[in-house]
Amino acid sequence: MRPKLSKNLLRTKTLEARVNAIEHEMIKLKAQDAGLSIAELTRRSVLLKPLPKRLSKITLATYRELVRIGSNINQLTRATNTAIKMGLRPPADPEQLEQLRNLLQQIGRELSQIETEITDDDDIESDGDSEDWE
């Protein structure tokens, strides 16, 4: 159950602003992009609170893939450590696994620092018809 807010924190006042149809659609899209309601977007904008950063589909897919790779590295590390404890030949070099783990963490950190993201509106063609990079 949700805790009750103090009377000072309850939102009981309403603000009104007139906008035209185009402005309304723009505000609505901006709220959707930020994952917020129009009311929350308005509050944050007016009160100069930062808007949450939304991740593009490409960034989310990259994070998911990094998690999968990390999971595989963890499983291989576990198997390697078990083999070493049992006196068997490990399936992978522990130093290389540690290097892989460090690289994976570095990629994750750099990905999170990317300021400019490809938006979902950008068309990325994967059928080979895209222009060649020069």
Model confidence pLDDT, tens digit, residues 38-75: 999 999 888 887 777 777 788 888 888 988 998 999 99
What is the SS3 string spanning 55-104? CCHHHHHHHHHHHHHHHHHHHHHHHHHHHHHCCCCCCCCHHHHHHHHHHH
The answer to whether residues 108 and 68 touch, using CB atoms and an 8 Å cutoff, is no
Find where tokens 């000072």 sit: 8
DSSP code, position 37: -
Q: In terms of pLDDT, which residue wins out, 100 or 50?
A: 100
Question: What's residue 129's pLDDT?
Answer: 41
Average pLDDT over residues 104-130: 58
100's CB contacts (< 8 A; 6+ apart) are 73
Question: What's residue 57's pLDDT?
Answer: 80
